[in-house]
Structure formats: structure tokens, C-alpha cells
Amino acid sequence: MTRRITWTLLVLTSVLLVLAVVPLAVSMTARERVAYRDSQRAATRVIAAAAEEHLSDNKPPTVMRQELDAAARAGDCAAVYDAAGRVVASTPCTAAQGQEAEELVEDVLAGQEPEPPENEGRLLAAEPAGEVHRPAGAVVLARSAGPLDARIAAIWGWSAVIGVAGVVASALLSVRLARWVSRPLSTLDASARRLGEGLLDERADVGAGPPEVRRLAATFNTMAARTEALVHGHRAVIADVSHQLRTPLAALRLRLDVLATGAEGDTAVELAAAQEEIARLSRMVDGLLAVARAEQSTPRPTAVRVGEVVAERVAAWSPVAEERGVRLTPVSEGPALTAALGAGHLEQILDNLIANAVDAVPEGGGIIVDRCRTGDTARVIVRDDGPGMTDEAKAVAFRRFGNPEARGTGLGLAIVHRLVTVNGGTAQLEDTPGGGLTVVLELPLWPGGARERGGASRSLPVLKET
């Protein structure tokens, strides 16, 4: 933002300076040229008036000589011509004589107003001596254009200095203005990012920047304080519920175990059924607490090596799968991927997915856990050849108790979905070719991690032989 604001103000100021300084310099240059020409013509007229007294009134050329000497001392060259176009008197230099000067004299003697040319750095001016239509002669004065060029150069030089100074001042002011605006916004952005990463006590600075930014920072702090209070309140409620529910359930289970010790017949059957319901209720309470913890979690991303976690969880669940006659295998040829996830989240996700798959797959079935890279995400796939799910069940599977066909509490996929989405990923349910369910997870990659490519195009091995 600082760079954009600086460049915008700098370009705008430069355009305004160009539109203001350049026309002003052009106008001053034109005025300087006109003034220089007028000064030259005035000096020429003075000599022409003195020459008229000599040429028309036959007075001594003393005054004319004095004016020619004054012109010479001023650095000008002048020549007086009679009505026949002959040189009567001149300064020591001969710049006012020659072909161009003679052409000017012819025009003046003919009663015309000539257009004085500029020759080799000198400006020529011609005036009639006497009446314009019947002059007694003509005077040509040549003046160096050096002083005029120096003045024009000074005008453009000062104009350039003013323009550069204006651009520099504009750059300094624009940088200061941009920083004044962007620094509080950058601080606010960093505070919002840290709050999103789970630092609930993060607050923004409200003492810097424009009033609008300060109000925004104050509003952000109010929102952060309310969020912190809300999350802490939910955590307290979960802790209380966990304590208040688990303790009586454990006590009730112990009492049922005591009663079932000496029970026989129908009483033993009923007590066994009651024990199963207590165990089911305990699992449901644990699942609800797990969902609640997942829903209120605000993880701070860490670098998670996907391949290592997959191998670890597959190894942990392999004994359970073998006991039930299910093949649980990872695909070891996948690329090295590093995902940005909360600490322990990928383990919880895989535990829930593998547990659901082990419960759903019949004896002799198989489960494959794979990973690959697709674009800027790490893809984790859990594929089984169990009974699968209907389209209606897949549509509601990520909700709490959404799947009426679930064998367990129906909370495992809800926990998975929450943990995946809170980390910026996505979860999808697809049909396994040949029958079964495939869970596809898209997880964000850790910046700078997973340099290997090419894993996205690799296909999963087939679970069933045809």
C-alpha cells in the first residue's frame, strides 16, 4: 500500500508540475525574446534618428558618430546606409554589413517592414532613417544572441530546479503520508492474523494513523475482546459439562458392574443391556465434547509432515484392523509433503477416518491411506471397499448425527470436517470404484514445503480384484 500511495501521489504531482512549469517557462521565454528584440529595435531607432539629421538635414555626423560609438561600447555592430544603399558610417565590426544586411536595407528603403534573421548567434534589426515611406537611409544593428540565450537557459534551468524540488518534496510527503496510513493498517492486519491463529489476547494499536483507521482498530479490539470472552466461556462450559457428565456416568457404570456380578437369568441380561447403553452414552458424550472442542478451536498452523503422520497412524491402527480381518495399508511412494495444520489435528482426522473405515469394512476388505500434491494443496485420501454411503447420507454426513446409517455415534465425520475447515482445507466424500467410500482431504501446504511435484497424477491402487 505504501508503494502504491507513493507512486500515485508522485505521478499526480509530476503531471501537475509539468502542466504548470512548462507553460510558464515557455511564456517567460517568449516574453524574454520579445523584450530583447524591442531593446534592439529601440537602440536601432536612436541611431536612425541621429542618422536622419545627417542624411536629411545635412548636419554634421557628430551625433551619429557618438551613437555608433555608444553601440560599439555596448557590444553591438551598426551600419548607416544612405538612400542609395551605400554604407555611410559604421562601427569597427562589420557584422551589420553583408548580403543579409543589404537585403534588410532594400526592404526598408522600399517602405517594407523586414523580418530580421538570426545569423551565427547574432540578431539583425533594420530601421529607416526618416519617414517610413520615403526614408533618407537605413540603419542596421547586429546584436549578439548570447545574452538572450543565457537568460532563456536560466529560465529553463530554474524551471527544472523548481520541478525537481517539487517532485522531491512530493516524494517525501507522499512517503510520509503513505506510511502514516499504511503502518497502522499493516499492524492491524498482523493483529488480525495473530487473532485468527489463536492468540485471543491480541489487540491492535489505536493511537496511530488517520481517525478512520483508529476507529477501525478500536472496533477490532472490541470484537477481539468479545471473541475472547465467548471462547473462554465456551471452554468453561465444556470443562464443566465434561466433569458433570463423566463423573456420574462412571459411578453409574461401577454400580451396574457390581449389580451384574451376582445377577442371573433375565436380570443379568437386562443389566448387560444397561451396561451397553451406558458405554454408548459415554462414547456419545466423549464425541460431543470432541466436536465442541473442535468447533471452538483456533489453531496456530505448524509444519506437519504428512507422510510421517500417515505412516504413524496406519501403524497404530494396523493391530485393530488385523484383529477384524481388514487390510490397512499406506501408499509409500507418495511425495514428501509438509502441510500447515494445527498441532495434532492431522492425527485426530486420520484416527476418526480410519476408525470409521475399520468399523464399516467387512472381514477380508481393505483400506488404503494415500497422499499426493495437487497445485498448492496436499491431498490425503482414505479409501475403503466397504458398503459405502448413499447420496443422501453423504449430503448430511458432516453434520452432527447427520448420518442415520452410522454404526457409531455419528460424530466422527463432523469432527473431521471441523478440523479440516478450521485449518483452511476441504473435505469431500466420493464413491470408491467397485464399491466403498473415499474421503478426499485438501490441506494447505506449508510455505516453502513440499518441493516435489508430480504426485497429483498418480492413481491409487485398486482395492478389489476383478
Alpha-carbon distance 316 to 350, whole Å? Answer: 11
With respect to residue 398, please indicate whether it lies within any of the assigned structural domains.
Answer: yes
Chosen domain end from 267, 295, 323: 295
Does the structure show a pLDDT above 70 at 219?
yes
Same domain for 273 and 340, yes or no, is no
How far is CA 196 from each of CA 146, 213, 224, 230, 421, rounded to the nearest angstrom?
72, 20, 10, 15, 13
Percent of all residues in the chain with a pLDDT value above 70, rounded to a whole number:
85
3-state SS class at 431: strand
How much is the pLDDT for 289? 67
How much is the pLDDT for 42? 92
Does the structure show a pLDDT above 60 at 234?
yes
Supply the pTM of this predicted model.
0.47
Chosen domain end from 134, 149, 164: 149
What's the CATH number where 91 sits?
3.30.450.20
Alpha-carbon distance 162 to 168, whole Å? Answer: 10
The model's confidence at residue 458, banded by pLDDT at 50, 70 and 90, is very low
With respect to residue 194, please indicate whether it lies within any of the assigned structural domains.
Answer: no
From 62-76, 185-199, 337-351, 377-391, the region with the lowest mean pLDDT: 185-199
With respect to residue 260, please indicate whether it lies within any of the assigned structural domains.
Answer: yes
What are 95-136's pLDDT values in tens digits?
778 888 888 888 888 888 777 666 667 888 888 988 888 888
Does the structure show a pLDDT above 50 at 465?
no
Element containing residue 103 per DSSP (H, E) = helix 99-109
3-state SS class at 255: helix
With respect to residue 347, please indicate whether it lies within any of the assigned structural domains.
Answer: yes
Does the structure show a pLDDT above 60 at 266?
yes
Same domain for 421 and 344, yes or no, is yes
How much is the pLDDT for 35? 92
Same domain for 275 and 311, yes or no, is no
Chosen domain end from 295, 327, 358: 295
With respect to residue 465, please indicate whether it lies within any of the assigned structural domains.
Answer: no
Same domain for 276 and 314, yes or no, is no
Does the structure show a pLDDT above 50 at 452?
no
Nearest to 353 by CA among 324, 380, 374: 380
Same domain for 370 and 418, yes or no, is yes
How much is the pLDDT for 261? 80
Does the structure show a pLDDT above 80 at 296?
no
Same domain for 397 and 352, yes or no, is yes
What are 128-178's pLDDT values in tens digits?
988 888 888 899 999 888 888 899 899 999 988 988 888 888 888 888 887
For the segment 447-455, the average pLDDT, to the nearest whole number, is 51
Q: Are strands 327-330 and 366-374 parallel, antiparallel or unpaired?
A: parallel
With respect to residue 19, please indicate whether it lies within any of the assigned structural domains.
Answer: yes
Mean pLDDT of the chain: 81
Same domain for 354 and 257, yes or no, is no
Residues 409 and 291: beta-carbon distance below 8 Å: no
For the segment 313-335, the average pLDDT, to the nearest whole number, is 84
With respect to residue 159, please indicate whether it lies within any of the assigned structural domains.
Answer: no
Alpha-carbon distance 229 to 125, whole Å? Answer: 92
What are 357-407's pLDDT values in tens digits?
888 888 888 999 988 888 888 999 999 988 888 888 888 887 765 555 555
Per the structure, the complete domain to which residue 13 belongs is given by 2-149
Number of domains present in the structure of the chain: 3
How much is the pLDDT for 459? 45
What's the CATH number where 401 sits?
3.30.565.10
Same domain for 46 and 125, yes or no, is yes
Same domain for 11 and 137, yes or no, is yes
Residues 88 and 51: beta-carbon distance below 8 Å: yes
What's the CATH number where 259 sits?
1.10.287
The model's confidence at residue 409, banded by pLDDT at 50, 70 and 90, is low
Same domain for 291 and 327, yes or no, is no
Same domain for 266 and 333, yes or no, is no
From 52-66, 120-134, 145-159, 283-297, the region with the lowest mean pLDDT: 283-297
Alpha-carbon distance 178 to 364, whole Å? Answer: 67
How far is CA 451 from each of CA 15, 377, 448, 454, rounded to the nearest angstrom?
47, 12, 7, 10
Q: Are strands 426-431 and 437-444 parallel, antiparallel or unpaired?
A: antiparallel
With respect to residue 196, please indicate whether it lies within any of the assigned structural domains.
Answer: no
Helix axes 265-295, 412-422, angle to 10 degrees: 10
Does the structure show a pLDDT above 50 at 451?
no
Same domain for 337 and 317, yes or no, is yes
How much is the pLDDT for 439? 92
For the segment 410-435, the average pLDDT, to the nearest whole number, is 84
Strands (E), 30-116: 77-82, 87-90
For the segment 27-41, the average pLDDT, to the nearest whole number, is 90
Higher pLDDT, 179 or 362: 362
User: Residue with C-alpha cell 523584450?
Assistant: 35
